Amino acid sequence: MNLRLLTTAAAIALFTLAGCTKTGGDKPEESATIKIGQIASMTGKEATFGQQVDDGIKLAIEEINNAGGLLGKKLELITEDTQSQTPPTKTAMEKLVSKDQVVAVIGEVASSRSMAAAPIAERAKVTLISPASTNTNVTLDKDGKTLNYVYRICFIDPFQGTVMAKFASENLKAKNIAILKDNANDYSVGLAKNFTETFTKNGGTIVEEQAYEGGQTDFKAQLTAIKAKNPEAIFVPGYYTEVSLIAQQARELGIKAPLLGGDGWDSPVLTQGAAKEALEGSFFSNHYSEQDTSAVVLEFIKRFKAKYNEVPGAMSALGYDAMNIIAKIIKDSGKADAETIAKGLATLKDYPGVTGKITIDPQHNANKPAVVLQIKDGKYSYYSTINP
C-alpha cells in the first residue's frame, strides 16, 4: 500500500515537473534558423524519387539563403530517410514534428507513405506538403473529410488516369487495352481504376487486368496471360523499378504493344540497361517536361544544371516548387509558423511554379495541367499537354 502510494506520488511529481518545463519554458529559445523537414526515400526501392526531390529542395534553399534568407533567418533542411518503406516513414515524421519542431514537412513522393505520415501531421498541427503523391486519399481522412494540415502541389490520380485514358483512345486510337497494376500500391490501384472508368466510357475495352506486388521481379506469368489477349497497349501504372523489368520481360515474350504509365515512371534509372530498348516508344504522363520552353522552366533548368551538372527530372522540379511556395508564404505573411503556412497554402492561387500554374482547391489538391511524354532513345520527349 505504502509502496503504491509512493509510486503514485512520484509519478504525479514527475508529470507536474514535465509539465512545468514545457509550459514554463514556452519557447525555450528563439531558434536561429527556420527549420523545414523532409521525409524522403533517400535509399531503398524508390531511392531516386527522394534523391531528386531532395536536389530540388536544396537548390531552392540555397537560392533563398544566398539572397539573405527569410525574416532575417536562414532556412535549415532536416531530411529523414524513409528507406522506401512505410514504418520508417512514421518514425521519421514523428521525429521531425516532435524532436526537431520543424515549421513544415515536405514529402513523401509515394502516396502510401504520405498517407502514413498524414495523420501524424494532423495531430501535431504541422503542415505536410507532398510534392508528388497523387492518390486522392492523401489529403483526406478516413471519412472523406479534408485534413487541415495536409496539402499537395501535384495533380491527383483521377486526373492522371483520365489523361492517359483520353490519350489512349484519342491519340493512339486504341480500342483494346490490358492493365498490369501493383496491387499493394495505393497509387497504382487508383490510377488503374480511373483509367478503366474513362477508357470504357470512351468506348474502349479492358481486355485483361493483371496484378503484381511491388518488389517482385518475375512478371512473365502475368505478361503471358496479357499476351494471349493481344492488346494494342498495356497500361502499367507502377513505379520505375518494376516497370523497367516488366518492359524487358514483355519484349522477350514477343509483346510489341507500347506501354503506358504515370508519373511513377519518372526516374533517371528507368531506361538503364536493356530497359532502354524495351521501353522505346512508350508513353507516360508527368508533371513537367524538360523540353518546356517557358521562361520559368528554362531558368530553373539553367540553375539546376549549374549546381548538379545534370538535367532535372519532374521530382526535382516539384521539390523546388514545394520549397519556394513555403518560402513565399513565410515571406508574404512575415511569420514562420505551421499555422500560417497551412493558411497560406489553402489560399494559394496561380502560383507560377516550374511545374505549371498552381492553385490549391478546397480538397487541398493542385489544379494544373499534365504533360504526356514519349520515351525516345531512352530520353523523355514531350508529346502533348493535357489540361484539367
Partner 1 sequence: MEEFLQQVINGLSLGAIYALIALGYTMIYGVLRFINFAHGDVFMVGAYIGFFVYPFLSEALGTGYLTAIAVLVAAMLGCGLLGVVIEFLAYRPLRNRPKLTVLITAIGVSLFLEYTGQIDFVFGADYKTYPTLVERSAVFSGSGLSLGSDQVIVFVVAIGLMLLLRVIVMNTKIGTAMRAVSMNLGAASLMGINTNRVISFTFFLGSALAGAGATLYAMSYPKINPLMGVLPGLKAFVAAVLGGIGNVPGAVFGSFFIGTAETMTAGYISPTFRDAIVFGILILILIFKPSGLLGKGGVEKV
Residue count of the chain: 388
Helices 314-333/47-66 angle, 10° precision: 40
Q: If binding is defined by CB under 8 A, does position 225 make contact with partner 1? A: yes
Q: Are 189 and 183 in contact (CB under 8 A)?
A: yes
Q: Are 25 and 68 in contact (CB under 8 A)?
A: no
Written as one letter, the residue type at 338 is A
Of 58, 113, 152, 227, the one binding partner 1 by CB under 8 A? 227
Q: If binding is defined by CB under 8 A, does position 86 make contact with partner 1? A: no
Q: Is the dihedral of CA 316, 320, 323, 326 positive or negative?
A: negative
Residue 95 DSSP one-character state: I
Q: If binding is defined by CB under 8 A, does position 207 make contact with partner 1? A: no
Q: If binding is defined by CB under 8 A, does position 274 make contact with partner 1? A: yes
Q: Closer CB to partner 1, residue 83 or residue 169?
A: 83
Q: How far is the CB of 252 from partner 1 (least distance, A)?
A: 4
Q: If binding is defined by CB under 8 A, does position 83 make contact with partner 1? A: yes
Size of the site for partner 1 (CB under 8 A): 35
Of 134, 248, 289, 365, the one binding partner 1 by CB under 8 A? 248
Lay out the site mask for partner 1 across 37-56 (x = CB under 8 A, - = otherwise): ------xxx-xx--------
Of the candidate spans 107-115, 167-175, 217-225, 301-309, the one that interacts with partner 1 by CB under 8 A turns out to be 217-225
Q: Closer CB to partner 1, residue 41 or residue 135?
A: 41
- Short-list 300, 297, 252, CA closest to 278: 252
Q: Closer CB to partner 1, residue 213 or residue 310?
A: 213
Q: If binding is defined by CB under 8 A, does position 216 make contact with partner 1? A: yes
Residues that bind partner 1 (CB under 8 A): 43-45, 47-48, 83, 183, 210-213, 216-218, 220-222, 224-225, 227-228, 241, 244-245, 248, 251-254, 269, 272-275, 278
